[in-house]
Amino acid sequence: MSSTKIHPSWKPHLEDEFVKPYWSNLTDYVKNEYSTHICFPPGKLIFSAFDHCHFENLRVVILGQDPYHGPGQANGLCFSVNEGVKCPPSLVNIFKELKDDLGIPMTSNGNLERWADQGVLLLNATLTVRANEAGSHQNKGWETFTDAVIRIINEKKQHVVFILWGSYAQKKGAIINPDRHFVLKSAHPSPLSAYNGFWGNKHFSKTNEYLRQHGLKEINW
């Protein structure tokens, strides 16, 4: 991570972060964790969200919290799992809302690279986790980095749609300037909270309507 393998489109915007003390500490911590424990996602996929969604193409940001911590699930994109892996409950609910909103049929393929490749940054607040230990890599520096990513997008881009599901994402996205960007908020898609305002939020159609109004290409969800 010291010579961070992140997509070149992001490097000029994030290079200041890579020389800060917290980044060095985070790098050492993650390297040690991956060498002494089973961690997810695989090392080559830690920055997958940035590899698939290049800075110049970015039109939408969806904020998650933590990578999945079960075997074979996490692939570096929030809410996403590898093809062939059973969709977790939150992702099932996302697909249900997508069907209700835009009529897109439910799918068992939970790999959201198809969204990321169109300019949707699927950003977890924490980019790594120990196997079977939810939240185990929180408060080690990742949140500082992903806060910087949000700040840079907020300042350097215009007309980005930020989709904030749940109180954690909404708190993290509090710095977003609603005069420059479009901020969509609702309950989290988890079965524990989806009934509290996730259902019927129509965030997918609202995103495309906003992009269309600003002359930007819609997302093929």
- pTM comes to 0.97
**The pLDDT of residue 3:** 58
pLDDT, position 2: 43
Pair type for strands 182-186 and 161-165: parallel
Q: Phi first, then psi: what are they for 61, rounded to 5°?
A: -125, 125
Distance from C-alpha of 44 to C-alpha of 209, rounded to nearest angstrom: 35
Q: Provide the β-strand partners of residue 163.
A: 62, 184
- Which candidate, 39, 31, 50, places its Cα nearest to that of 145? 50
User: Do β-strands 120-124 and 129-130 pair in parallel, antiparallel, or remain unpaired?
Assistant: unpaired
Which of the residues in the chain have pLDDT under 50?
1-2
* pLDDT for the residue 214: 98
pLDDT of residue 5: 82
Q: How many Å apart are CA 75 and CA 23, to the nearest integer?
A: 22
Task: State residue 4's pLDDT score.
Answer: 73
- Residues that are catalytic: 66
Query: DSSP 3-state assignment of 137?
Result: coil
**What per-residue confidence (pLDDT) applies to 102?**
98
> DSSP letter at 105?
P
